[in-house]
A and B are shown apart, each in its own frame.
Chain A
Amino acid sequence: MTDSMEPFPPPGQPLVANANGNGHAAAQDLLPWSDAGESNAEDVWEEPAWDEPQAAPSGDPSGDRLTPAELRAVVFRRAPLGKRGLDEHQVNSLLDRVEAELVRLTQEKRALETEVELLRDSAARQPEPVAPPREEPAARPQETGLARVDQAEHAASRSVAGRVQEAHVYAASLLSQAQQTADQYIKDAQRYSRELIEDALLKRGTILSNAAAEGDRTVGVDAVGQEIARLRTANQTYRGKLRDYFELMLMNLDEWETAEGAGGST
C-alpha cells in the first residue's frame, strides 16, 4: 500500500507513548487552558451535547431506478463544469446520452413490469378454463396446464429479471463513464489552475530576486543600512504590485472554484 492509500497508521504500528486506543494523544487527559492571566478555576470538561441525530438523507431503496431528471443531480449536482475552459458541450452531450439511455431503460423497465403483471393475471385466470373438463379421467391435463402456465410465468419473470438486471448493469456502466469524465474534467481544471498559480509564483520570485540583485549592485560600502532600507521599499512596491496582480488572478480562479464548489447548492 502506498502512503496516500493508507488511510490510517495500520494496526500494530507503534504509536506514541501518550496515545490512547485511537492512536491519538489522549485529549481527555487535558483540560482547556485559560489565557495567560485568566483565573485557572474549575473548568470541568462537559460532555458535549449531542448533535441531533442526523436524518439520513435516505433515498428510496425500493429499487426504483434513477429517473432521467435526477441524473444530472447525481453526477454533477455540485459541479456546473462550464466555467473557465471546461468543455461544457462535451459534458452535456455525454449527459444527454446517458439521459437518453435512462429514458429508454426506464420505459423498458415499465414495459417489462406491465408484461409481468399481464403474465401474472393470465396465470391466475388460466386454471379456471382448464379446470372444467373434469370428466376426463386423466388427472394430467390440469396439471400440465398449470405447469405450463407456471413455467411460462417463471421463464418470463426470469427473463424480465434478467433484462432488468441487464438494464441496471448498463445504466451503472454509463454512470461510471459519466463519473470518470467528471473526474477527468475536474483533474484537468485543477491542474490548469495549479499551473497558473505556480507560474505566477515563479514570475513573482524572479521579479523579487531581480530586485534584490539590483539592490546588491548599488549597495555602497558605507551606506549599507540606507541601501537595505531602499531595497525594502523597492521590495514592498514590487510586492504590492505583484500582490494586486496576483490577487486579481486568484480572484479569477476563485470565481471558478466557487462556481464549481457552490454552484449547485441545491
Chain B
Amino acid sequence: MSATSAILSPHGAGAPAFTQVKANFELVAKYGDNVPLYLFSDMFLRVPALRELFPVHMSRQRERLMAALSFAVEHAHNLPEITPYLHQLARSHRKFGTEGEHYEQWSASVVNTMQRFSGNMWDEGLEEEWRDFLSLLTRTLSEGARQDASLRPAYWTAEVISHERRSVDVAVLRLLVDRPFKYVPGQSAPVEVRQWPNMWRYYSMANVPRRDNTVELHVKAAGAVSRTLVCDVREGEVVKLGAPVGTLTLNPNTGRNILLIAGGTGFAPIKAVLEHVTKLPVPPWVSVFTGARERGGLYDLDVLRDWEQKYPWLTVRAALSELEDQSVATTGTVGEAVSRYGRWEGYDAYVCGPPAMVDGTVAMLHANGFTDNRIRLERFAGAATPSRRFAI
C-alpha cells in the first residue's frame, strides 16, 4: 500500500516508473466510455451518497475524468511534474464538496474498474502498483485541497439583489456576496444555481471589486445554466460562487494604449478592465469596440456612452453584424470595425466574447501587426473551465 512498496515489489522491474500501470491503462482505455461508466457505477453502488455530488448529466463528466486520469497516468513516473495541475484540480474540487475520503473511494473504484477490464491480465503485483500510484495521486490531491483551505472558503454564497432583463436573451444581475470576494478586474468566477446542482459555469465580474461585496454579471441565455440565470432567477435568490480565475486582466505597465474588444456578453470583463483603467492615476488612451448581432445585444451601450462623455481619454464604437441599426452602430463584425479604424501600433488589445468571435478578432489583430504578447483574451467557451488561452 505504501508508495515505496512498489519499489520492493517482486514485479517491480522499474516499478517506480509505474510501467505496469501505464501499460494496463492503455489496454483498458480501449474500452472507451465503458471504463468511466463502470468506474462511476462501482463508486455509486458502494457509496450511494457520492452520487449527490455529481451533475445529473454525466457524459461530459466521464470525458473529463478520463482525460484527467490519463494525464496523471502519463506522468505517473514523475507526478511532482504535474503537481501544480493536480493542486489546481483539487482546489477547484473544494466547491464541489469533494473531500479526502471521496478521493479514496474513487481510488478503490479505479482499482475495481481496472481489474474488471483486465481479465486474467490482473494479478496482485499489478493491483499493488495501481494502489501505490493512486495513493500518491490522492495524496497530492488532498494536499492541494488542504493548502487551499487555509487560504479561502470552498465557495461563497451570493444573493441576487437586482435582475434586469436587458433584451430577449441577455440579463444583467447584481449579486451581494456574503463575504469579501477578492479578484482582479477581468476575471471570472464559477457559478452554481439551485436549479442545476453541481453544474458550475463561469461568468465574468463586470466591475472592479467593491467594498460592499457586490458584483455585476452579464449573462446571455445559451444553455441550461445561463437560461436559468436570464429567465428564471429572481431577486432574492441565492447562488454559489467559486474562486475567481482568468487572465484577461489589465497590464498597466506596458506604456501602450488600450484597445478593448467585446462581443456580446464578452463585454462583462471588458467593462471591469475599463473601470480598472478609470482608477489609474494617468489613464492611457482607450478605444472600446463592442459588437453584437443585433441591437438587443448592445445591452449596456448607454453606460458606455455616459463614460465616453465623462472621460476624455475614452472612445466607444459599436458594431452590429446581423440586424443593422445605423443610428447606434456601424454594420459588420467588431473585428471589421477595429480594422477599419486601424492604426493600432501603440496599443495592447483585450478581446472577449464567444470563441468564434475571439478567434476571428485575433486573426484580424495578427493581420494588423499585433503579436501575441500584445493580446489578452478570454473565450466564453462552453467548457466549464477556461480553456487554453494565451496572453501577455
Using CB atoms and an 8 Å cutoff, list the residues of chain A in contact with chain B.
Answer: 1, 3-11, 13-19, 21-36, 38, 43, 45-46, 48-51, 54, 56-61, 63, 65-66, 70, 73-79, 168-169, 171-173, 175-176, 179-180, 182-183, 186-187, 190, 194, 197, 201, 204-205, 208-209, 212, 228, 232, 242-243, 246-247, 250-251, 253-254, 257-258, 260-262, 265
Complex interface: chain B residues within 8 A of A49 (CB): 153, 179
Give Cα distance in the complex from A61 to B105, angstroms. 8
| Contact mask for chain B residues 100-137; partner A; CB cutoff 8 A; 1 contact, 0 none | 01100100000000001000000000000000000000
23 contacts between A and B (CB under 8 A): A1-B71, A11-B81, A11-B84, A15-B247, A22-B245, A35-B211, A43-B211, A45-B182, A54-B99, A57-B49, A57-B53, A59-B46, A59-B48, A74-B44, A74-B48, A76-B56, A175-B45, A179-B41, A182-B58, A212-B324, A250-B231, A254-B232, A258-B232
Complex interface: chain A residues within 8 A of B376 (CB): 16
Give Cα distance in the complex from A183 to B221, angstroms. 22
Give Cα distance in the complex from A143 to B42, angstroms. 41
Which single member of A46, A61, A169, A187 contacts B47 (CB below 8 Å)? A61
* 8 Å CB interface, B31-86 against A: 34, 37-38, 40-42, 44-53, 56-59, 63-64, 67-68, 71, 81-82, 84-85
Which single member of B41, B50, B85 contacts A10 (CB below 8 Å)? B85
Given A8-B85, A175-B45, A208-B294, check contact A27 B323 (CB 8 Å): no
Q: What distance in Å separates the Cβ of B210 from its nearest Cβ neighbour in chain A?
A: 6
A176 contacts B279, CB within 8 Å? no
Given A25-B246, A48-B153, check contact A16 B323 (CB 8 Å): no
Most chain A Cβ neighbours within 10 Å, of B48, B169, B194, B195 = B48
Which single member of B45, B246, B387 contacts A4 (CB below 8 Å)? B387
Complex interface: chain B residues within 8 A of A182 (CB): 56-58
* 8 Å CB interface, B185-226 against A: 186-187, 193-197, 208-211, 221, 223-224
Given A8-B385, A34-B211, check contact A26 B184 (CB 8 Å): yes
Of all A-B residue pairs in the complex, the 5 with the closest CB atoms, nearest first, are A59-B49, A261-B195, A32-B209, A172-B41, A175-B41
Q: What distance in Å separates the Cβ of A106 from its nearest Cβ neighbour in chain B?
A: 12
Given A43-B211, A179-B58, check contact A212 B323 (CB 8 Å): yes
Complex interface: chain A residues within 8 A of B14 (CB): none
Most chain B Cβ neighbours within 10 Å, of A8, A45, A187, A243 = A8
A9 contacts B388, CB within 8 Å? yes
Give Cα distance in the complex from A22 to B182, angstroms. 15
